[in-house]
Amino acid sequence: MGHVLSTAIVLLVFWLTLSGRYEQFLVTAGIICSIFIALLAARMNLADKEGHPIHLAISALAYWPWLVWQIILSAINVAKIIINPALPVSPTMTRVKMSQKTDVARVTYANSITLTPGTISVDIEGDDIIVHAITRENAIDLEGGSMDRRCAKFEGSV
């Protein structure tokens, strides 16, 4: 029930932000539609822990700033490689362990790897992610597993 309610609230805020018109009729229609869609989503098993992971909101506040900082550092690093006339790339395929239990945290980890310039998650085999890294150093950094530990902490399993 909590997930249905928060789905409805998120939908309503989304609608109010996009519409920008606050006449009584439109707001009422928005409220009714949000509740209806949230109930529909609950019936389709979409408004649950996986489809609407609102319970992770607080740990996301700790994880995202760290992720943004990592993205800035590695984007500058990749930009330096591009600008360097020698183009010092050493493409490496590697295999990193996922220690997360839930699918949401695994998706977060794989997406974080891809979002960070210099590493792309290519495939998943069991509990491993196959990663393509632009330099050998990037691959070894990722194998060190600090992002993996942060993601496990993010889902609350550590």
Partner 1 sequence: MSLDLILDIVSWALLLSGGFFCIVGALGLLRMPDSFTRLHAASVIDTLGVGPIILGLMVQSGWTLTTARLGIVLILIFFTSPVAGHAIARAMRHRDVKPILSEDRTGERH
Query: Where along the sequence are the contacts to partner 1 (CB under 8 A)?
Result: 14, 17-18, 20, 71-72, 75-76, 78-79, 81-83, 87, 89-95, 110-112, 114-123, 130, 132, 134, 136, 139, 143
Least separation in angstroms between residue 114's CB and partner 1 is: 4
Q: State which residue, 39 or 55, has the beta carbon closest to partner 1.
A: 55
Residue type, 53: P
Q: State which residue, 61 or 87, has the beta carbon closest to partner 1.
A: 87
Least separation in angstroms between residue 69's CB and partner 1 is: 12
Least separation in angstroms between residue 42's CB and partner 1 is: 22
Q: How far apart are CA 113 and CA 90, in angstroms?
A: 18
Q: What is the dihedral of CA 111, 117, 123, 129, to 10 degrees?
A: -80
Cβ distance 112 to 151 under 8 Å?
A: yes
Residues β-bridged to residue 131: 94, 121
Least separation in angstroms between residue 113's CB and partner 1 is: 8
Q: State which residue, 18 or 61, has the beta carbon closest to partner 1.
A: 18
Q: State which residue, 123 or 127, has the beta carbon closest to partner 1.
A: 123
Q: Which residues contact 10 (CB under 8 A, 6 or more apart)?
A: 52
Cβ distance 72 to 117 under 8 Å?
A: no
